[in-house]
Amino acid sequence: MNYSAYIPDYSLFVEYANTYAQLPLFPFFDVAHYIMMILALRNDAGDGFVSLAENNPLACWLCSMLSCFAGYILSNALLGQSLLAPFAYHSKIGIATIVWYMIFYSPADIFYKLVTSFPGKLVIGPMKEAVRARKVGLGVLQAAQVYPQGFIIMVIIGTVRGSGSAFMRFFERVLRGAWKPTQNELLNPSFMTQATILCSILLTMETLDYIPIDAPELMLMLTTLLVGYKMASVVFKVGDPLASIENTCRPLLFGKWIGKDAPIDKKGDSKKDGKPKKE
């Protein structure tokens, strides 16, 4: 569909979108991703990161690599492909290992302090979000090659590819001995996971020609929103923009008709706990 009548300089927008779609992720954007993933691992470990790094460096490194390449690993696992495929890219593994070492073992913790400072967050966070939509698109295309008409499968793989570290967190906690079964992304999805699901749905609809827009243009628009939110969250401490919508819709769509508000049937028996009230 031609949007030139509705969007000024639409041809320029298309040019930017195509440039973005061909932008290489390695090394700069991948390094930003590695930094954010290993930072999340260290912060999740809390005060126990010292013991993890000093007493169990192999487990620490493996958990870091699982976080860095979680989307690739999980999408391959769900599609019956090799889980070890990401470890075939030696240059990426090497750079991720350097980042891991710097975050956990740099003298005086200087690297950690640098990347967690305000300027560091303002640069690295948006750089990571700048490629999230690209990774979601790769996941959708990966699923489409196996299940060309599998809408739900494409959405799942796209979500896992774009937000894999959030789902991998459960498994890597087990590896480092931090068993927290009630803390997982399915029970407590973050805003970025929810945004990834929405991106995956839209990119799947584009792949199946349900919406009249090309993938590069859609990815650029989604990336602009994600990067904008990340910058706002760093600068203005913006919270979850979907929280108010969830709090409004959840009681309406998924509320419980039990307890005090349970309807009374025609016989006048109020049901509670699945048992009729005794006369």
Residue 265 has pLDDT above 60, yes or no: no
Distance CA 129, CA 225 (A): 9
The structure's pTM equals: 0.86
Residue 214 has pLDDT above 80, yes or no: yes
User: What is the full DSSP assignment across 195-220?
Assistant: HHHHHHHHHHHHHTT-SSS-HHHHHH
Q: Is the peptide bond before 27 cis (omega within 30 degrees of 0)?
A: yes
Residue 209 has pLDDT above 60, yes or no: yes
DSSP-derived letter for residue 248 is: H
- The enclosing H or E element of 121 equals helix 118-129
**Residue 8 confidence (pLDDT):** 66
Residue 35 has pLDDT above 90, yes or no: yes
Q: How confident is the model at residue 192 (pLDDT cuts 50, 70, 90)?
A: very high
Residue 121: C-alpha distances to residues 60, 81, 152 (Å): 23, 35, 34
- Count Cβ atoms within 10 A of the Cβ of residue 136 and give its class: 0-12 exposed, 13-18 middle, 19 or more buried: buried
pLDDT per position as a tens digit, 111-126? 999 999 999 999 999 9
> What value does the mean pLDDT take over residues 155-182?
91
Distance CA 33, CA 29 (A): 6
The mean of the pLDDT values for the chain is 89
Distance CA 134, CA 27 (A): 15
> What value does the mean pLDDT take over residues 37-44?
96
Distance CA 80, CA 123 (A): 36
Side-chain-side CA neighbours of 25 within 13 Å: the count stands at: 15
In terms of DSSP bridges, do strands 275-276 and 271-272 run parallel, antiparallel, or are they unpaired?
antiparallel
Residue 38 has pLDDT above 80, yes or no: yes
**Residue 270 confidence (pLDDT):** 44
pLDDT per position as a tens digit, 16-28? 999 999 999 999 9
Lowest mean pLDDT among 139-153, 166-180, 252-266: 252-266
- Which residue, 195, 208, 200, is CA-closest to 242? 195
User: What is the full DSSP assignment across 162-190?
Assistant: HSHHHHHHHHHHHHTT---TT--TTTS--
Q: What percent of the chain has pLDDT over 90?
A: 71
Q: How confident is the model at residue 271 (pLDDT cuts 50, 70, 90)?
A: very low
> What value does the mean pLDDT take over residues 43-60?
92
Q: What percent of the chain has pLDDT over 70?
A: 89
Distance CA 199, CA 226 (A): 10
Partnered with residue 270 across adjacent β-strands are 264
Residue 180 has pLDDT above 90, yes or no: no
Residue 92 has pLDDT above 70, yes or no: yes
Position 24: which residue type?
P
Higher pLDDT, 242 or 121: 121
Residue 264 has pLDDT above 60, yes or no: no
Distance CA 172, CA 178 (A): 9
Tokens of 198: 């929405």
